[in-house]
Structure 1
Amino acid sequence: MTGELADAVRRAVGAVTDPELRRPLADLDMLRDITVDGTVAHVGIALTIVGCPAATRIESDVHAAAAAVPGIEAVEVAVGVMTPEERRALTERLRDGRAPRQMPFGPDSLTRVIAVTSGKGGVGKSSLTANLAVALAARGRRVGLIDADVHGFSIPGLLGIAPGTQPTRIDDLMLPPVAHDVKAISIGMFLREGESVVAWRGPMLHRTVQQFLTDVFFGDLDVLLIDMPPGTGDIAITLGQLLPHAEVLVVTTPQEAASDVAIRSGLVARQTGQRVIGVVENMAALTLPDGTVLDLFGSGGGQAVVDALSQDADPVPLLASVPLSPALRTGGDAGLPVVLGDPQDPAARAILAVADAIDQAGRGLAGRRLSVTPR
């Protein structure tokens, strides 16, 4: 009976998910000796690194899982750390056969890569990207988010990731912090205390973006969103070279000055082989409580971008017009995206409609090699 109880405890504890790697402890070889003495379970686990930020949660979840096994009345958890050899084996297993520093999001990947771009700053592109990521994750999609706006990074704050939070390092792999079920990485997570400015030029920008794609372990993703910097500079060119198969979502405001520049960002993306999948018009007219309409930035910008980027064989849809919204702004400041904090807000409903359109469209398999062998 004691052996059967120990086996039951091992199964229960092995099913506990590591909150950073998002895989069961048994699959990660994090279980150690598990024995039962009467009604007391003695459970040994090994964390990936010393000072693992998820240690408290893992220990708590392991304790709860073991205690839930019928016949167990008390649990003692012993926490250790993997040896360098065990960590090396783990990182090799996580790479799934890929060589170190090899990008997992190539043309044959099943992950949809969507770059969210704009011609100029200040159009709400980052707020839209953060909310889209959270909305897709709420639909059960596995979502990653890269903040490629190195000079104007804002994704950590928009997602409510606490200042000073850094990725967990397992040898040469980085595990991105998770917020609202979105795995996110940003240069803002690497700045030393007191730093707030990144003054880099082309080579450093290229290297940083490349490391985000190769050294950050996102695991199996359904969608990888990339918050692009405004304009058509170094990072846009780098990502066009690294991810020529990526899809592009163009964000503009209704204002002509914004839409004219947004068209250029879509054209540059198309020149690298990327496909424009839609346009979102942000900061559109707001209906006030008395029924009047505040048309602060005019109208027609989104449609102008659609008309300029559409081709006979490849029309570009206007996915939504997102109205000006105090709730969208306050949610961003608080780190609680409006699609979660106030989903009935008109801006939230418009963004959720964009998430629906992206989610339902899926990614075609044409031109990609599949891991199957005909018989």
Structure 2
Amino acid sequence: MFFSKSKQERIHEIEQQIADFYSIATPCVNSDAIVALGNREKFEAGKKQTIEVSLGFTVKSTASELLDFLKQQLAQLANCQFEISYNVPISEAKLPPVPNVKNIIAVSSGKGGVGKSATSVNLAFALQQEGARVGILDADIYGPSVPIMLGNPKAHPDSEDQRTMFPLMVEGVAANSIGYLVDSDSAAIWRGPMATKALKQLIYETKWPLLDYLIVDLPPGTGDIHLTISQQVPLSAAVIVTTPQTIATADAKKGIAMFEKLTIPVLGIVENMSYFECKCGEKSYPFSQGGSVALAEQHSTEVLGELPLSNLIREHADEGKPIVTALPESNVSQIYKSIARKVSLKIATTLRPHQLTREQSSKDGKNSVNIQVVNKT
């Protein structure tokens, strides 16, 4: 399909405004993705039309702000109605995608006790609240904690054929864990090969629904599980969790180095226990300050978010109700949502899309931004 010059110019203007709003490079807004429905008539500002903007990243909480921004910046389109939808692309990985899973994101930490599992769970629900279809896999074979944080430690996945299983659904998020398959009172005393085999079974023998993102909560460290997930699973990218403490950032550095050696993109760092904020509003930094920023600069990445030292995060995790769902309007939840938006945006705009057929590309959203102009009477 072809546009008249005026229509093409207006479409390009919309693309540029979206790129500016989300501070992404213009090339990430691919004009080749533009499709015009109702192109038999001229694209005129005074005509009642709906402009459909399909984004390759999920940013539902900022959609209204984007619409207002577009209307302010594009005064000549004031009579047009904008609609926003999300079509997350499949990012390129070393292996073919897991059926129904577009992107697999590993959440890792160099050491235990830094809030990695709480970050994984809240990131999953934050992405869902931003408009994505999300799943979470607990890859900590020896110490699964996701079932407790989801409030269903006694649940078990169903199976139709005794070979594959359905994930547990928790408020719209698909989840699976070795904790759903093994008695919580029994220790998983397995050698490395057994643990890695169990992990692969959890990933490939779970009948995942269509997911934009599968969050994988890795165990702490850089062991067999990490090598398996990096080399035998189509991992899209990784997020590193740490605290500002020197010993924690030193271990996090090893984790980043591992992913770099395995050519897995690191989207950024989440800093937990970054500061303590008293009721008076004053912030203190009991675990030092600036460690994650320095680490991010060393590895040419960014700090995705800094979370406070808060009892609320722990309390809701222990109660099986993640803070993002229990207190969605809280300051901590807003930080998690900001992290989720950054993760989604970086996957869509910095990672190479998977090489698909033309039909699949159209269906799965190969490009970051796709704009459709729909004439309506």
TM-score when normalising by structure 1: 0.66
Given the superposition, is the C-alpha separation of residues 276 and 243 from structure 1 closer, same or farther in structure 2, using an over 3 Å criterion? same
Q: Does 1:126 align with 2:111?
A: no
Tell me, yes or no, if the aligned pair for 1:283 and 1:322 is still in contact at 8 Å: yes
Q: Specify the alignment match of 2:324 in structure 1.
A: 339
What's the secondary structure of 2:358's corresponding residue?
coil
State how 1:77-92 maps to structure 2 within 5 Å. Answer: none
Q: In structure 2, give the amino acid aligned to 1:105.
A: P
Distance in 2, matches of 1:245 and 1:133, equals 16
1:173 deviation in Å?
Answer: 1.7
Deviation at 1:333, TM superposition (A): 1.1
Query: Taking every aligned residue pair, what percent have the same amino acid on both sides?
Result: 35
Which residue identity lines up with residue 106 of structure 2 in the other structure? A
1:22-42, Cα deviation, whole Å (9 max, x unpaired): xxxxxxxxxxxxxxxxxxxxx
- Contact 2:104/2:234 (CA < 8 Å) preserved in 1? no
Matched, 1:105 2:97: yes
Equivalent residues in 2 for 1:150-189, closer than 5 Å: 150-161=141-152, 163-171=153-161, 172-189=163-180
CA distance, structure 1, for counterparts of residue 276 and residue 264 of structure 2: 33
Does structure 2 retain, via aligned residues, the 8 Å contact 1:117–1:248? Answer: yes
- 2:289 paired with 1:299: yes
Larger RCO (CA under 8 A, 6+ residues apart): 2
Q: Which residue in 1 is equivalent to 2:307?
A: 322
In the TM superposition, what whole-angstrom CA distance separates every residue of 1:50-108 from its partner, at most 9, and x where no partner exists?
xxxxxxxxxxxxxxxxxxxxxxxxxxxxxxxxxxxxxxxxxxxxxxxxxxxxx9735x9
User: Deviations along 1:212-257, whole A, 9 cap, x unmatched?
Assistant: 1210011211001100111100100111111354201001101000
C-alpha displacement at 1:203, in angstroms?
A: 0.7
The answer for unaligned runs of 5 or more in structure 1 is 1-102, 311-315
Take 2:121 and 2:270, find their aligned partners in 1: how far apart are those partners? 14
Give, in angstroms, the shift of residue 110 of structure 1.
6.4
Output the CA distance in 1 between the equivalents of 2:120 and 2:261. 23
Do 2:130 and 2:341's aligned partners in 1 also have CA atoms closer than 8 Å? no
Task: Tell me which residue corresponds to 2:267.
Answer: 277
Counterpart-to-counterpart distance in 2, 1:308 and 1:178: 39
- Quick check: which has more Rg, 1 or 2? 1
Cross-structure match for 1:243: 233
Any stretches of 5+ residues in structure 2 without a counterpart?
1-94, 362-377
- Cα drift, residue 372 of structure 1: 2.4
Q: What is the CA-CA distance between 1:353 and the residue it aligns to?
A: 0.8
Q: 1:267 corresponds to which residue? A: 257
8 Å contact 1:146–1:185 — kept in the other structure? yes
- Work out whether 1:217 is the aligned partner of 2:235: no
Distance in 1 of aligned mates of 2:234 and 2:222: 15
Aligned length: 264
Per-residue deviation, 1:293: 2.8
Q: Output the aligned Cα RMSD.
A: 2.1
CA 1:368–1:344 in 2, change beyond 3 Å: closer, same or farther?
closer
Distance 1:185 1:367 in 2: 27
Q: TM-score if structure 2 supplies the norm length?
A: 0.66
Using the alignment, how far apart are the partners of 1:114 and 1:126 within structure 2? 13
By how many angstroms is 1:334 displaced? 1.1
Q: Counterparts of 2:229 and 2:311 in 1: how far apart (Å)?
A: 33
CA contact (8 A) 2:107 2:239 kept: yes
Q: Given the alignment of the two structures, is residue 288 of structure 1 paired with residue 278 of structure 2, yes or no? A: yes
Aligned equivalents of 1:358 and 1:244: distance in 2?
17
